[in-house]
């Protein structure tokens, strides 16, 4: 093509456009946040509390300041602006000054000429703690002595739907538990702050929520928001773990204090301690049905352990509660949802955002109900599926595409995988060579889930894009954080499609353009995709009106349809849109040793429209990997408030030998009204019901109840004891 000077037509929407940053990332040439560098920069390092609960008697920074090469040691006393921050409630101190509420809470930061100097300086700070008994049991938090002036209840949300006193002919009850999962993104937290001449600061930061990072940081620095100029640095994954700020204020304080650029880069251990996790949850359910399987009532009590600070606990609980019944028509329900404060690590956003925990429980309940009814578990689900025009537990009537029946049917109708080949590596236990074929039992499990797209409960999480077209080249400027999800690819596809150009430059995502909101809630394709589309259409109109102009430029702000708060009964049109998904898992279990090999996960997903098939597959495979991880291995081990595995030696994530074959049975394309190009977000659904499906498959293989994930070998081997 190039020989004749001809250009290949670049991929438009619906085609598998390759990532513009794909090859550089594979070659190690892409600059991530931890590669940032500035001449004369200092290295920042955080002193963290080693205890989950303590009074701080004294902090002596003198020995650290005396070390040659140390430029600054800052504590709570140096915070010029607001002393606390938080996405929903500003309850989290920039530095703990009187009370330590979780292990790893920052006490001080150091800037020094070398990371090793900074490390020694941190070790030299003398802190005297008076240890106090940590509150670690979420069940005791609400009634317990408050460990924070705001109290121990982040939110108590009750959903009363229909007549919750209705009794079913068949009733099943169960209690379930979900452990604390971590996002475990590959690129640890990193940032570079460079002081500006005007008293402001320039911040390059690996983040998923740039403008709110900027706003929270500026408030704590005591600066006007425009004095903090933030740019998204190369971000190696996020999955919710970068929605809250972590080192943002610290690194800017150090830069402003020293007048020099300062870089901070978390170690893996600090990363585990420094960001929020998926909420551990305890879930009690009672399902009521008619003899024919029709659901008549669901009662549930949900206790989400939010850890020491609020983060997004309130919104996570709302999701958990609103979708607590699953994608079924449930005429009556009583959901008693609690998100509480403890001295455990703070929890917040993670892929699936509350819906994952309740899906594990409601799908276990559906299987239990099917068994009690003597009914096929898939048949029971099909009998109760939500359809367009039905109301969910909040009374909100579904107006968009609701292909629950379609995802279920596509998933169950896909062919089952063949029996294991017998190769040792392919058996449970893998490289450990433990499995003998005759102890291996196969199990098949099925689960369905759904959740909202975009922020809910009245939140106007708009996005902004600016598009300039000059000399046949479109430049798109949008603050959407690219965290690996592929927005940089999609931006180019949208601009090419709407403007009919081939060359599209994606400008750096920074705060010199309006907010794009968070890269979370499966919302950026819809929100920022819509903003880019809108700006491109305005440019097209300018071209029609004024064909000869030297350039065209437009800025478009894209808002989704407004939503309502939930009322005192948890009723209201709180959500913008929904996505539905089904998973069928096939597992082989060594029933003697309790070791699991997930063989295959088949899925069908409601996507509205596929804008990039390759990226859709990537999201589905990645989301299933995290769902499988939660099912069989991923857990932050927190004992008496102390994190025991803040490392990749003991926080296990799936390897290629743990990752099942992913069979995409169908992507259901029913264009969503109101969605740009009809496309729904696809990032979260793959994690929602994959965990539940794997758990169900393990139950099928072993007969063990599997009431807790991640399931551990001893839970399967000694299952009989757990039951009794």
The residues binding another protein (CB under 8 A) are: 119, 267, 269, 425, 428-434, 436, 592-595, 597, 633, 637, 639, 644-645, 647, 649-650, 652, 654-658, 712-714, 717-718
Tell me how many helices (H) and strands (E) the chain has.
18, 28
Helix axes 613-632, 690-702, angle to 10 degrees: 50
Q: Taking the complex as a whole, how short is the minimal distance between the CB of residue 661 and another protein, in angstroms?
A: 14
Report the candidate in 689, 671, 562, 572 with the shortest Cα–Cα distance to residue 620. Answer: 689
- Spatial contact of 59 and 107, defined as CB atoms under 8 Å apart: yes
Q: Taking the complex as a whole, how short is the minimal distance between the CB of residue 652 and another protein, in angstroms?
A: 5
Q: What angle do CA 275, 103, 340 make, to 5 degrees?
A: 75
Q: Which is nearer to another protein, 42 or 587 (CB)?
A: 587
Q: Which is nearer to another protein, 169 or 714 (CB)?
A: 714
- Per the listing, tokens 């204090």 go with 257
Report the candidate in 149, 151, 129, 119 with the shortest Cα–Cα distance to residue 49. Answer: 129
Q: Taking the complex as a whole, how short is the minimal distance between the CB of residue 334 and another protein, in angstroms?
A: 38
Stretch (H or E) spanning 476: strand 473-478
Q: Taking the complex as a whole, how short is the minimal distance between the CB of residue 365 and another protein, in angstroms?
A: 27
Q: Which is nearer to another protein, 566 or 711 (CB)?
A: 711
Q: 190-195 and 262-265 as β-strands: parallel, antiparallel, unpaired?
A: antiparallel
Q: Taking the complex as a whole, how short is the minimal distance between the CB of residue 113 and another protein, in angstroms?
A: 16
Cα-based distances in Å from 502 to 336, 491, 496, 558: 53, 12, 6, 24
Q: Taking the complex as a whole, how short is the minimal distance between the CB of residue 9 and another protein, in angstroms?
A: 40
Q: Taking the complex as a whole, how short is the minimal distance between the CB of residue 28 and another protein, in angstroms?
A: 14
Report the candidate in 707, 702, 701, 700 with the shortest Cα–Cα distance to residue 717. Answer: 702
Q: Which is nearer to another protein, 361 or 633 (CB)?
A: 633
Give the separation between CA 63 and CA 126, rounded to whole angstroms.
Answer: 8
Q: Which is nearer to another protein, 18 or 713 (CB)?
A: 713
- Spatial contact of 42 and 250, defined as CB atoms under 8 Å apart: no
Q: Taking the complex as a whole, how short is the minimal distance between the CB of residue 417 and another protein, in angstroms?
A: 17
Q: Taking the complex as a whole, how short is the minimal distance between the CB of residue 595 and another protein, in angstroms?
A: 7
Q: Which is nearer to another protein, 425 or 473 (CB)?
A: 425
Q: Which is nearer to another protein, 64 or 491 (CB)?
A: 64
Q: Taking the complex as a whole, how short is the minimal distance between the CB of residue 399 and another protein, in angstroms?
A: 44
State the greatest distance between any 2 C-alpha atoms of the chain, in Å, as a whole number: 81
Q: Which is nearer to another protein, 550 or 656 (CB)?
A: 656
Q: Which is nearer to another protein, 359 or 695 (CB)?
A: 695
Cα-based distances in Å from 374 to 144, 367, 499: 43, 10, 58
Q: Which is nearer to another protein, 269 or 553 (CB)?
A: 269
Using DSSP, state whether 274 is helix, strand or coil: helix
Give the separation between CA 489 and CA 491, rounded to whole angstroms.
Answer: 6
Q: Taking the complex as a whole, how short is the minimal distance between the CB of residue 119 and another protein, in angstroms?
A: 6
Q: Taking the complex as a whole, how short is the minimal distance between the CB of residue 537 and another protein, in angstroms?
A: 49
Q: 638-639 and 577-590 as β-strands: parallel, antiparallel, unpaired?
A: unpaired
Q: Which is nearer to another protein, 205 or 599 (CB)?
A: 599
Q: Which is nearer to another protein, 507 or 653 (CB)?
A: 653
Report the candidate in 165, 144, 149, 172 with the shortest Cα–Cα distance to residue 338. Answer: 144
Q: Which is nearer to another protein, 196 or 592 (CB)?
A: 592
Beta partners for residue 92, in sequence order:
85
Give the separation between CA 586 and CA 694, rounded to whole angstroms.
Answer: 7
Q: Taking the complex as a whole, how short is the minimal distance between the CB of residue 433 and another protein, in angstroms?
A: 5
Q: Which residues of 482-512 are buried (b: 16+ CB within 10 A; e: fewer)?
A: bbbbbbbbbbbbbbbbbbebbebebbebbbe
Cα-based distances in Å from 604 to 403, 407, 427, 520: 10, 5, 26, 21
Q: Which is nearer to another protein, 363 or 635 (CB)?
A: 635
- Spatial contact of 62 and 70, defined as CB atoms under 8 Å apart: no
Q: Is 453 left (phi over 0), alpha (psi -120 to 50) or beta?
A: beta
CA 611 to mean position of chain CA atoms:
22
**CB atoms < 10 A from the CB of 461, how many?**
20
Positions of E strands within 561-633: 577-590, 595-606
Q: Taking the complex as a whole, how short is the minimal distance between the CB of residue 630 and another protein, in angstroms?
A: 14
Give the separation between CA 235 and CA 245, rounded to whole angstroms.
Answer: 14
């Amino acid at each position: 093509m190039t020989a004749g000077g001809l250009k290949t037509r670049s991929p438009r929407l619906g085609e598998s456009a390759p990532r513009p940053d794909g090859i550089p990332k594979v070659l190690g040439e892409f600059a991530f946040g931890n590669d940032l560098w500035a001449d004369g920069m200092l290295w920042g390092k955080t002193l963290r509390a080693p205890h989950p609960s303590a009074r701080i008697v004294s902090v002596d920074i003198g020995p650290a300041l005396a070390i040659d090469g140390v430029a600054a040691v800052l504590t709570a006393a140096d915070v010029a602006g607001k002393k606390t921050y938080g996405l929903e409630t500003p309850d989290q101190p920039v530095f703990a000054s009187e009370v330590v509420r979780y292990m790893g809470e920052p006490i001080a930061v150091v800037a020094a000429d070398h990371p090793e100097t900074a490390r020694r300086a941190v070790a030299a700070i003398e802190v005297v703690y008076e240890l106090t008994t940590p509150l670690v049991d979420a069940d005791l938090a609400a009634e317990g002595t408050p460990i924070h002036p705001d109290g121990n209840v982040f939110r108590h949300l009750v959903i009363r739907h229909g007549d919750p006193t209705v009794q079913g002919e068949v009733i099943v009850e169960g209690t379930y538990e979900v452990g604390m999962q971590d996002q475990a993104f590959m690129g640890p937290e990193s940032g570079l702050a460079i002081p500006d001449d005007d008293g402001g600061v320039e911040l390059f930061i690996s983040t998923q929520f740039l403008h709110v990072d900027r706003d929270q940081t500026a408030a704590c620095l005591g600066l006007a928001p425009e004095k903090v100029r933030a740019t998204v640095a190369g971000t190696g994954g996020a999955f919710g773990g970068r929605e809250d700020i972590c080192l943002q204020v610290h690194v800017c304080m150090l830069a402003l204090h020293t007048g020099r650029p300062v870089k901070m880069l978390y170690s893996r251990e600090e990363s585990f301690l420094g960001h929020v996790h998926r909420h551990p949850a305890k879930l009690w359910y009672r399902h009521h049905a008619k003899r024919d399987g029709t659901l008549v009532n669901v009662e549930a009590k949900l206790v989400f352990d939010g850890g020491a600070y609020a983060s997004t606990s309130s919104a996570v609980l709302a999701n958990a509660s609103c979708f607590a019944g699953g994608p079924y028509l449930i005429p009556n329900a009583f959901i008693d949802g609690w998100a509480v404060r403890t001295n455990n690590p703070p929890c917040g956003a993670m892929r699936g955002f509350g819906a994952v925990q309740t899906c594990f429980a409601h799908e276990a309940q559906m299987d239990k109900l099917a068994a009690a009814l003597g009914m096929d578990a898939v048949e029971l689900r099909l009998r109760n599926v939500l359809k367009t025009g039905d109301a969910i537990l909040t009374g909100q009537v579904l107006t968009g595409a609701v292909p629950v029946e379609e995802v279920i049917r596509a998933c169950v109708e896909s062919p089952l995988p063949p029996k294991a080949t017998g190769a040792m590596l392919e058996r449970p236990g893998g490289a450990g060579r433990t499995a003998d074929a005759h102890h291996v039992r196969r199990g098949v499990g099925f689960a369905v889930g759904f959740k909202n797209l975009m922020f809910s409960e009245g939140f106007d999480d708009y996005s902004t894009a600016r598009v300039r077209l000059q000399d046949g080249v479109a430049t798109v400027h949008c603050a959407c954080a690219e965290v690996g999800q592929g927005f940089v690819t999609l931006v180019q596809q949208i601009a090419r499609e709407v403007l009919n150009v081939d060359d599209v430059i994606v400008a750096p995502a920074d705060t010199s353009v309006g907010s794009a909101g968070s890269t979370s809630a499966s919302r950026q394709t819809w929100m920022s995709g819509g903003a880019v589309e809108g700006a491109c259409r305005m440019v097209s109109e300018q071209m029609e009106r004024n064909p000869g102009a030297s350039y065209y430029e437009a800025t478009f702000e894209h808002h989704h349809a407004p939503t309502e708060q939930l009322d005192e009964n948890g009723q209201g049109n709180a959500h913008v849109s929904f996505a539905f998904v089904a998973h069928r898992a096939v597992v082989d279990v060594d029933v003697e040793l309790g070791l699991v090999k997930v063989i295959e996960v088949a899925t069908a997903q409601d996507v509205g429209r596929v804008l990039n098939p390759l990226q859709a597959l990537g999201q589905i495979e990645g989301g299933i990997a995290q769902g499988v991880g939660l099912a069989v291995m991923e857990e932050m081990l927190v004992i008496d408030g102390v994190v025991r595995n803040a490392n990749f030696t003991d926080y296990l994530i799936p390897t290629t030998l743990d990752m099942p074959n992913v069979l995409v049975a169908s992507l259901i394309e029913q264009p969503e009204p109101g969605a740009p190009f009809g496309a729904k977000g696809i990032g979260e659904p793959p994690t929602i019901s994959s965990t539940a499906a794997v758990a169900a498959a393990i139950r099928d293989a072993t007969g063990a109840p599997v009431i807790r994930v991640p399931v551990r070998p001893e839970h399967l081997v000694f299952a009989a004891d757990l039951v009794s």
